Amino acid sequence: MSGYGSFGSLWRNEWDKLWRRKRVFLLVAWVLVVFAGGFITLQAHNAYRQSVQNSGVALTQAIHATLQQLQNPHLSAKQKRLLENQLTNDETALRQEEASASATVSVRGQLAQLTAQIRQTPAIDRPPVALQIALDRYRLTHGITRYPANPGPTGWSLAGGLLAGLGLLLFALIGIVLSADAVAGELQDYTLPVLFLHMAERRRIWWAKALAGIVLLNGFMAVAVLGLTLFGGLLVGFGSPMAPNALNVHYGPESGSSFLMMIPSRWIIVPQWAYDALALVAGWFTMSGWTLLVMTVSTILRSVNQAMGVMTAVLLSGFLLSGSHGQGWKWVLVDPSLVLSLIALSAGTVAQSSGIPAATLTVGAFVWIGWATLAIGVSLWRFPRLEP
């Protein structure tokens, strides 16, 4: 049998083993991601609408009560004037509530206003205004003349939102469950020693295991994101696939302050569908590196529970270090959990929320390439030397 053929058979064997062990877990995880995510989105959507409705009902009741009080013939002139002022204020507030619930922004009007505003804005404060101008110009170029003033989640935005936020944390946890026992578990149940007896090249076994874990995790991500997009869209609407998103957004420290501010850069404006696709590809990249790290720790520790504990601690460390601000840039270079979402790094949301200006796409990509290379090197050195 050729080398390619033997590796193909070995990979299929590893895939079949992994799928048999994890298919029930993945089915449950898929249901949770798609249906729980969809219903949580629907609940948030309905809660916002209900809050607006409740506010409107309260104002309407207040207006009716004031009108009834004004019908009292015994009111003094001062009391009547106070009630009339209160009635005017309540009616104005009610109109504003009703308008905000269904308000849309005129892109042309906003663009003209921002173009005039940026001339009066100090240079240090111009980047956010310039970015909004770039987004509005994109909208007009693609025929978008109005958009919601208070946009909620849509089917299209759910995909990018999942892969740019806590969704990748969930996928990383699933990756730990998928790959923590790929080496240590088979050492403990003596499956791996039996395989060693029939395969002279042990490195091929490791590559087959790594490839099977990467393909299964990335395939699950794609199916879960697609399911959430479709289900969420059916619940709250799909929205526009052409809604603009900005990438290559950078933040830097404000002079004499610990706060970050947007700095000028060459922004890349992409439609929502492209943002979602890029977020998925970026997620595949980081989750592939994450799978390699999990397998390496499993190979070194030879214990499923210890491997899961260590990798879970690494994953959660990003939340602890993200608030370190001034010291955080040092950890960005060594902690992969801080740069888990490359699309969020490019959009500048990680730097803005964590206060770490070094959290950029370029840094994140190099961190993952470095960790993946180290994981491969350590595993290919250690795996052939494993003893039952």
Beta-ladder partners of 252? 261
Distance CA 179, CA 199 (A): 21
**Closest residue by Cα to residue 311 from 166, 168, 180, 212:** 180
In this prediction, residue 357 carries a pLDDT of: 81
Tell me the average pLDDT across 1-10. 64
CB 375 within 8 A of CB 296: yes
**Closest residue by Cα to residue 160 from 43, 246, 278, 250:** 278
Beta-ladder partners of 147? 105
112-158, pLDDT tens digit by residue? 989 998 988 888 889 999 999 999 999 999 999 988 877 778 888 88
The verdict on pTM exceeding 0.75 is: yes
309-347, pLDDT tens digit by residue? 999 998 888 767 665 555 556 667 777 888 899 999 999
CB 279 within 8 A of CB 156: no
Query: Cβ neighbours of residue 255 under 8 Å, at least 6 residues apart?
Result: none
